[in-house]
Amino acid sequence: MADADEDRADALFHALSDRTRRDILRRVLAGEHSVSVLAAKYEMSFAAVQKHVAVLERAGLLIKRRSGREQLASGDVAAVQAVSDLLAEFEQVWRGRIARIDELIATEPSPED
């Protein structure tokens, strides 16, 4: 269970760790784009862009829909929100730390007494 969650987190953060992929994700979140149209935007081969799209797809950040000979890619905002949730968990851990510090201050009114 938790292992699969970590696998998914690995995939999500790794997919987001490349600027070309983040740029592709922005475009497909804004609207559907074929792989060819996306590839035309970058100074790299079609195959390279196609691989980036595949990484985003495997992470679940993007879904593809076939339309004739084209493959239309669309960003999945739910996956982006899943990453936000992971980060919220980190922030929650930090809040726990602050809460413990506050509690300590309340319990021992002043260390120099």
Nearest one of 52, 68, 59, 63 to 28, comparing CA atoms: 63
Joined together, the tokens standing for residue 85 give 């949730």
Rounded least distance, CB 22 to DNA, Å:
11
The DSSP line for 55-93 is HHHHTTSEEEEEETTEEEEEE-HHHHHHHHHHHHHHHHH
The secondary structure element, H or E, covering residue 51 is: helix 46-58
Rule CB under 7 A: say whether 14 interacts with DNA.
yes
Residues 33-92 that bind DNA (CB under 7 A): 34-37, 39, 44-48, 50-55, 64, 68-72
- 9 contact choice in its own copies, DNA, none (CB below 5 to 8 Å, kind-dependent): its own copies
**Collapsing DSSP states into helix, strand and coil, what is residue 102?**
helix
Does 12 participate in binding DNA (rule CB under 7 A)?
Answer: no
Nearer to DNA, 55 or 79 (CB): 55
Residues that bind DNA (CB under 7 A): 14, 17-18, 20, 34-37, 39, 44-48, 50-55, 64, 68-72
